[in-house]
Amino acid sequence: MKEVPIIDVATAAQMVKDGDTILQGGFGMTGNPVHLMHALAETGTKNLTFIGNNVGEVGIGGGRLLRNGQIKKMIGSFFTSNPDAVKAAQSGVVAYELLPQGTLAEAIRAGGAGIGGFYTPTSAGTLIAQGRETKIIDGAEQVFIKGIRGNVAFIRAWRADTAGNLQYRMTEQNFNKAMATAADLVIAEVEEIVPVGEIAPEHVHTPGCFVNYLVQATLTLEDLGSSASVSSSKKVDESRMNMAKRALAELKKGDVVNLGIGIPTLVADLITEEHGIILHTENGMLGVGPVPTDGGGAMNYPVNAGKIPVTALKGSSYFDSADSFAMIRGRHIDAAIMGGLEVDEAANLANWAVPGKPLLGVGGAMDLAKGAKRLIITMTHTNPDGSSKIVPACTLPLTASGVVDLVITDLAVFAFPENKLTLIELMPGATLEEVKARTSASFVEQIA
């Protein structure tokens, strides 16, 4: 049986050379090889191309490389969570390429599988697709994405045996599993190394043939950043809760549902076991339960796409980000409930970017908007300046075209029967006159 060398973090960091492309696993700081990244930050290695969902947090993980000026380009899905990444991009100090989260995961999986690239409907017709090859496949525009490989991959697993077989814990698979296949040199940071045979074959998530070196490093609360703990206190105004309740009424028993950040997260607080709804989170979990009541964090619990620790309900399952987005694009998600910045008369959605601000945080929105069987948008009816969010045509950068099925605001509920924006319901306390006055789009009235 193969025996994988066990080295220390300093030795591992020296294997990264100037100008290398480095893949870093993790979703936020969950499953993040933080000790390897910190060791790399102690070296003089520079001009790195960093590929990962996000560049750690401020001063943690990849955030230290940013602070040191070691990164020349970052490729990922959600850089907004690290203000240092935003500043670096705004100033032009670091080049960047933004990819939808599912596209990033699939590109890494393709690179690891020896596939040159693939076509995806995600991001078609958006700013992210500009400059990329497109093709009409089965009547739908699809965007070509090249497979991604790196020189070195730093990944994090919970256990390894001496043959390099890896086992991940809870939602810590995320990008790690695909990245383990997609680099010339793979170094796995693990909590525990056990003799070969102690990890049952059916519990091996990454076979040892993909792993070149092992590093043992113990995780601490400080390594988990913002996911280290969770506060149970939450104040919610009545109008937001009314929107969440109305969205819940659209779901039926057995539905697999993905909830976006903001108002949609409130739906999770309303779901009971009797509802029989299965919550999906794009970083790799089905069967998401409520936040822990003991204040515990990602050391003891999985995390959701908002990087918030959650509990696992009976029958839950974990998987990696590539499989998670295969569920989404493959239309295995019955409904997605997302926030919005604009929805227009043609059922187009804009919810990820505002002109004049850095376009650094698309996450999984584009994949979900295209892939969910039903898309429900919850948002306030107007902006803080009183301007309407339900508009004749979106002026903000599009997330996806013609995808919205239902819009729930604090004033009204709109649907799109026969592809026409239609007012079907008033929310508590709202009047028809108020809705007309605050909506710039033209709509049909079908109020029961």
- Residues known to be catalytic: 282
Q: Provide the pLDDT for residue 192.
A: 97
Amino acid at 221: L
User: Pairing state of beta strands 444-445 and 422-426?
Assistant: parallel
Average pLDDT over residues 277-290: 95
DSSP letter (8 states) at residue 1: -
Query: Can you give the pLDDT at residue 1?
Result: 75
Instruction: Give the span between the Cα atoms of 375 and 266, in whole angstroms.
Output: 17
Give 231's pLDDT tier (boundaries 50, 70, 90).
low
The closest of 92, 77, 16, 76 to 48, measured between CA atoms, is 16
Strands 213-216 and 335-339: unpaired
Please say whether the beta carbons of 259 and 279 come within 8 A. yes
User: SS3 for 436?
Assistant: helix
| Dihedral class, residue 64 (left if φ above 0, else alpha if ψ from -120 to 50, else beta) | alpha
Task: Give 297-300 contacts, CB < 8 A, sequence gap 24+.
Answer: 297/221, 297/224, 297/227, 297/228, 297/229, 297/230, 298/29, 298/30, 298/224, 298/227, 298/228, 299/219, 299/221, 299/224, 299/228
Of the pLDDT bands very low, low, confident and very high (cuts 50, 70, 90), residue 306 is confident
Round to whole Å and give the CA distance between 53 and 55: 7
Rounded to an integer, what distance in angstroms lies between the CA atom of residue 126 and that of residue 336?
20
Q: What span, in angstroms and rounded, lies between the C-alpha atoms of 427 and 254? A: 27
Could you identify the residue written with the tokens 């995390």? 303
User: Is the dihedral angle over the CA atoms 224, 229, 233, 239 positive or is it negative?
Assistant: positive
Which pLDDT score, from 0 to 100, does residue 296 have?
86
pTM reported for the whole predicted model? 0.94
pLDDT reported for residue 233 = 55
Which of 228, 301, 227, 236 shows the shortest CA–CA distance to 265? 236
Give the separation between CA 82 and CA 86, rounded to whole angstroms. 7
pLDDT at residue number 331: 96
The two structure tokens encoding residue 328: 């989404």
3-state secondary structure of 226: helix
- Residue 273 gets which letter from DSSP? G
Helices (H), 9-100: 9-13, 34-41, 62-68, 83-91
* Per-residue model confidence as pLDDT tens digits over 250-262: 999 999 999 998 8
**289 vs 236, higher pLDDT:** 289
Residues 313-355: tens digit of each pLDDT: 999 999 999 999 999 999 999 999 999 999 999 999 999 988 7
- Asked whether the CA dihedral 32, 36, 38, 40 is positive or negative, the reply is negative
Mean pLDDT score, 50-58 = 94
Task: Count CB atoms within 10 A of the CB of residue 369.
Answer: 30
Rounded to whole angstroms, what are the CA distances from 182 to 204, 266, 274?
A: 18, 37, 43
Average pLDDT over residues 186-190: 98
Residue with token string 């973090």: 9
Residue 146 Ramachandran class (φ > 0 left, ψ -120 to 50 alpha, else beta): beta
SS (H, E, C) 340-352: CCEEECCCCEECC
pLDDT beyond 60 at 115: yes
Contact 263, 339 (CB under 8 A): yes
pLDDT tens digits, 19-51: 999 999 999 999 999 999 999 999 989 999 999
- pLDDT exceeds cutoff 70 at 358: no
Span 162-171, mean pLDDT?
98
Q: Residue 235 pLDDT > 80, yes or no?
A: no
**pLDDT at residue 357 above 80?**
no
- The residue-averaged pLDDT of 183-187 equals 98
Calculate the average pLDDT of the chain: 94
- The SS3 call for residue 300 is coil
Mean pLDDT of 398-419: 97
- Nearest partner of 311 among 111, 170, 128, judged by Cα: 170
Q: Identify the burial level of 100 via C-beta atoms within 10 angstroms of its C-beta, where 0-12 means exposed, 13-18 middle and 19 or more buried.
A: buried
pLDDT at 226: 82
Mean pLDDT of 198-224: 95
**What is the DSSP code (8-state) at residue 113?**
T
